[in-house]
Amino acid sequence: MLRNGLNKKIFSMLIIMVMLILLLSACTYLGVISVEVQYKKPYEITEPYVKDWINEVKDKEGDFF
């Protein structure tokens, strides 16, 4: 008797968890919950010393970039 009730409780908890996961994934897929992923361009140079070096080379050698 107790074992049967415990199994039903575990099974219902499992179903609730699966439904919550499906609801969350559907919301993220439809864009209700926005997951912000910032893509960085591969050629984007953010370090200032690299920018300064590129500018120095451009001044000396010409614009070859």
- Please tell me the pTM assigned to this model: 0.42
What is the 8-class DSSP label of residue 43?
A: T
* Both structure tokens of 11: 């099974």
pLDDT of 32: 64
* 3-12 own/partner pairs: CB under 8 Å, 24+ apart: none
The C-alpha torsion from 49 through 55 and 60 to 65, rounded to 10°, is 110
Residues 28/35, Cβ–Cβ less than 8 Å: yes
The residue type of 23 is L
**Residue-range domain boundaries for the chain:** 2-61
pLDDT, one tens digit per residue, over 28-51 is 777 665 666 555 555 566 667 777
